[in-house]
């Protein structure tokens, strides 16, 4: 009887010991996991903040966004003029591509300027006057736009292609300046896209002019 009691006592003590060990182990695991989770979350948030594309910008970025907006706006206006003035499928296709590419870029330029605490851009071509944008940025004058509006057929095609080539060259020049001087990675990436796509469109328009 005495022996049995000692055995039961020993088994009970062992069971309590197992529970205590398991409890300590679980607690340590929870603490470890919680600490790891919190550390990872903090690191991820810090990484996200440092990767914020709006975090770094300079005067060249602001100038690029402010100037490219009205430049794009005029290109979209010229693209819209195609409807009803020509049946040339190549010119119509180019106009559609230009509007489809540049309108979203205008929205992005507006968003960047807002994030950077800058004034909203203007679509008025006169807003580019007095800015250091090289040789006029390829912008059309009011007389150029009026001439386009009154033209049609082959005459419209010739004027539109000639003006759009000049307009694109101005955009490429502005974009190359941003690539050279800009700091914001997303703005520089857009500038690279503009150089690539608009140079390709210039080649197509030159071929159409013959």
pLDDT score of 60? 97
Express as a percent the part of the chain with pLDDT over 70: 69
Residues 21 and 112 in one domain: no
DSSP code string of 108-171: HHHHHHHHTT-PPP---GGGGTTS--TTGGGPPPHHHHHHHHH--HHHHHHHHHHHHHHHHHHH
Q: Are residues 102 and 196 in the same domain?
A: yes
Asked if residue 119 and residue 71 are part of one domain, the reply reads: yes
Task: State the residue for tokens 């997303």.
Answer: 186
Same domain for 15 and 114, yes or no, is: no
User: Taking the chain, what is the end-to-end CA distance rounded to the nearest angstrom?
Assistant: 115
Lowest-pLDDT choice from 31-35, 113-117, 140-144:
31-35
- Residue 37 sits in the same domain as residue 108: no
Kindly report the backbone phi and psi dihedral angles of residue 123, in degrees, each rounded to the nearest multiple of 5, phi listed first: -85, -5
Residue 20 belongs to what domain range? 1-51
How far is CA 72 from each of CA 5, 41, 55, 92, rounded to the nearest angstrom? 94, 41, 25, 18
Q: Domain check: are 92 and 193 in the same one?
A: yes
Read off the pLDDT of residues 160-204 as tens digits, 9 standing for 90 and up.
999 999 999 999 999 999 999 999 999 999 999 999 999 999 999
Say if residue 66 is in the same domain as residue 29. no
CB-based contacts of 159, cutoff 8 Å, min separation 6: 147, 148, 151
**Same structural domain for residues 31 and 112?**
no
Taking only the tens place, the pLDDT of each residue in 38-83 is: 444 444 444 444 456 557 999 999 999 999 999 999 999 999 999 9
pTM above 0.75, yes or no: no
Same structural domain, 36 and 64: no
pLDDT for res 157: 98
* Tally of domains within the chain: 2
Residue 108 has pLDDT above 50, yes or no: yes
């Amino acid at each position: 009887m005495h022996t049995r009691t000692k055995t039961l006592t020993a088994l009970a003590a062992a069971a309590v010991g197992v529970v205590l060990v398991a409890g300590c182990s679980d607690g340590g695991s929870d603490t470890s996991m919680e600490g790891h989770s919190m550390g990872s979350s903090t690191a991820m948030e810090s990484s996200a903040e440092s990767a914020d594309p709006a975090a770094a910008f300079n005067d060249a970025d602001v100038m690029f966004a402010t100037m490219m907006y009205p430049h794009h706006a005029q290109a979209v206006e010229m693209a819209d003029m195609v409807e009803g003035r020509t049946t040339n499928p190549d010119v119509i296709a180019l106009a559609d591509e230009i509007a489809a590419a540049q309108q979203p870029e205008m929205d992005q330029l507006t968003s960047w300027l807002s994030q950077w605490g800058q004034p909203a851009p203007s679509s008025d071509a006169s807003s580019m006057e007095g800015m250091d944008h090289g040789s006029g940025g390829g912008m059309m004058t009011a007389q150029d736009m009026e001439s386009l509006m009154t033209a049609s057929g082959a005459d419209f095609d010739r004027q539109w292609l000639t003006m759009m080539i000049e307009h694109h060259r101005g955009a490429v020049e502005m974009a190359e300046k941003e690539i050279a001087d800009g700091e914001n990675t997303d703005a520089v990436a857009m500038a690279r896209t503009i150089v690539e796509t608009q140079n390709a469109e210039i080649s197509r328009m030159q071929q159409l002019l013959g």
